[in-house]
Structure 1
Amino acid sequence: MAINKHMQAALKLLSYPAAADLEKVYKIERALYTLKSSPLSPLYHLWDQKIESIDGTPIRVRIYTPKQQTSSQLLLFFHGGGWVFESVDTYNQVCKALAKATGCRIASVEYRRAPEFPFPVGLEDCYAAAKAIYADPEQFGVQPEDITLIGDSAGGNLTAAVSLLARDRGDFTVSQQILIYPATAADHSESSPFPSVHENGEGYLLTSYRVQEFMRLYAGQDDSAFTNPYFAPLLMKDLSRQPRTLVITAEFDPLRDEGEAYAAALSHAGAQVYLHRMPDALHGFISLPARFVQVQRAHALIAKFLGVDTVCADNTNRTGTGWTTQLKFSRRRFTGRTPRSSD
């Protein structure tokens, strides 16, 4: 449904206040996020394993195997939360729903969070997990080309950065990545060149001010991070040899335009890129219950990109019966044009 004036007023009241200093209250807010951790359903086969990061720290990776596993593919998932909030536990429901919808196994990475562990610690944790899984894909019964990197928001940022690092370090090759409303730029202030930062920067839950706070905590004491392309992938001058990519943005998201700009930049550099702007959607919509239409549409887009059937909540397969046509999935490669909401 469209966002009417009454809903707009409610969203404005619920949006993060600029007066709150994130550095002072992040521990309280982080604790509140843990309250939404969902129980581990017996309908999913789950297990945790440990992978060592670059400094020897063990990194937890949780594996979700749906009861109806219809695909041998593996999705390596990096969760959102502004590099500060959220965790593998708080993303249980997101990963379970994604596993059920696609029939794929999900490997969710518990990277270390800012501000205790600023850039590039979280990125190196994600990279270490990816390197270990690509080095031994047989443990999941897959080949390296069957692995897709995926993340939302800060996790989308980490996904893009891991793909760039993999190219530059040469440890493994990423064949596919999925970026859900990713953070790709470094500037979300009044000087930002992206209209969505100004149009959607207030009154839509996530504010541009809060994005700046997240990035400040992620950068830590090193201001040079704001010019580092692994911190803000849109700064990367050379985007060649990047994987086949699906980018999903949200209409009323301050990060919308930078995600679409990254899609354009990848396409111009030669990558095969698909872009879909989710109509009437806010930042963070993938964390909503699976009954919400935006979540169902995102699952269908992801399934289409992966070449698998969508297994819906009622356990019926509907992707081959016109459902994706109703979703208006973009069947063309992105050309750099900013899409309309109806695309």
Structure 2
Amino acid sequence: MAINKVMLAALKALSYPDINLKKNYKIARQVENLTHYHVLKPLYKSWDHKVMLDDHAIPVRIFSPEDDLDHPILLFFHGGGWVIGNIDSYNKVCANMARITGHTVVSVNYRLAPEHKFPCGLHDCYQVARELFLNEGLLCTRADQITLIGDSAGANLAAAVSLMARDRGEFFPQRQILIYPATYYDHSETSPFLSVHENGNDYLLTAKRICDYVELYQSSPDDRQNPYFAPLMAEDFSRQPRTLIITAEYDPLRDEGETYGQRLWENGNRVELHRIEDALHGFFSLPPAFPQVRQVYEYINRFLSEVPKK
């Protein structure tokens, strides 16, 4: 089936040119911020907070669908290949998410590569999760009402936080939502995943760009064998949260996201997996009027309907 031309045009408007990412990542960030600029509507209440990690302050932005905090929480990690994107460029996504799901959305402005390579961004995400899960009075929400969610590199971080939480034993997320997650380390011609070869050249997110992101994110080649860097490298997939995975039909990351779901399911976890037809990587940032975005929110709201009530 041919890709929908309306979606292709919309995503092109949100993307940036195919520049040399390793040399011009700062330019890519500027373009990303400009194309995702959004003035918050007064219907949405948002405010900023900071979480401390040693001597480093991690900015977070909190979106509430109403004037109070009496809502379950979606702890959101944004995409951008660990290199671009921030809480400003995801304002629109998070405001829509709060409104459509009826959840408080906590968006994390984790440190970006290459200035802050792996595992800096992951440690930021883990620290914010730790504060929310262990300090229930912070947003007046019980730990069992908190769901991890991320898209692309943010979904990679959400999966890694869940693995790290199990390994450290400090807290345990009960749910995670992974939207077209990056879970593997090889997106070159040697990749074992067919979607990299089928979708890695002709669409907006190319295999080359993913390779550049991975190279900018890693501290050393050894990181690629680390499950906190590439969750599919985990030796133990047990004791993970109930998981919703969303993939896109024309996405190079499609097969690795679906394989991660299969690994979780094979190891006794509850997993729900949906491939969105006629969709490209990044489509979740489009307006909710797009049918593919509406479909994802239907899956998300059904998944979240099992969140315990106060």
The TM-score range, normalised by the shorter chain, is over 0.9
Tell me the residue number matched to 2:99. 100
Structure-1 residue corresponding to 2:170:
171
Aligned match of 1:27: 26
1:288 to 286, 289, 292: 286
Change (3 A) 1:44 1:187: same
**Closer, same or farther: CA 268–8 of 1 in aligned 2, 3 Å:** same
Normalised to the residue count of structure 2, the TM-score between the two structures is 0.93
**2:277 match: secondary structure:** strand
How many residues matched?
A: 305
Alignment of 1:3 onto 2:9? no
1:146-295 alignment, distance < 5 Å: 146-220=145-219, 222-295=220-293
Asked if structure 2 preserves the Cα contact closer than 8 Å seen for 1:285 and 1:295, the reply is: yes
Q: Identify unmatched segments of 5+ residues in structure 1.
A: 310-343
Deviation of 1:207 after TM superposition, in Å, equals 0.4
Which residue matches 1:56?
55
State the partner residue of 1:65: 64
1:169 Cα shift?
Answer: 0.7
Which string of whole-angstrom CA distances, capped at 9 and with x for unpartnered residues, describes residues 162-220 of structure 1?
Answer: 00000001111110000000000011111111100000001110001100000000004
Separation in structure 2 between the aligned mates of residue 211 and residue 72 of structure 1, nearest angstrom: 36
Tell me how large the CA RMSD over aligned residues is. Answer: 2.4
- Counterpart secondary structure, 1:138: coil
What is the distance in 1 between the residues matched to 2:173 and 2:7? 41
1:279 aligned partner, one-letter code:
E
Shift of 1:69: 7.7
Question: What's the TM-score, normalizing by structure 1?
Answer: 0.84
Q: Within 1, Cα distance between the matches of 2:94 and 2:4?
A: 31
Deviation track 1:223-274 (CA, whole Å, cap 9, x = no partner) reads: 1111111000000010111000000000000000000000000001111000
CA distance in structure 1 between the partners assigned to 2:243 and 2:24 by the alignment: 36
Matched residue SS, 2:148: strand
Structure showing greater radius of gyration is: 1
Q: What is the CA-CA distance between 1:76 and the residue it aligns to?
A: 0.2
Query: Which residue in the other structure is 1:341 paired with?
Result: none
SS in 2 for 1:41: coil
Per-residue Cα deviation, 1:38-87 (whole angstroms, up to 9, x for no partner) = 1122111111111012x420001111001388972100000001101110
1:192 and 1:116 map into 2 onto residues whose CA distance is: 27
Q: Which amino acid is 2:75 matched to?
A: L
Q: Which blocks of at least 5 consecutive residues in structure 2 are unaligned?
A: none
Superposed structure 1 runs of 4+ greater than 4 Å apart: 4-12, 14-18, 68-71
Aligned residues: percent identity?
Answer: 54
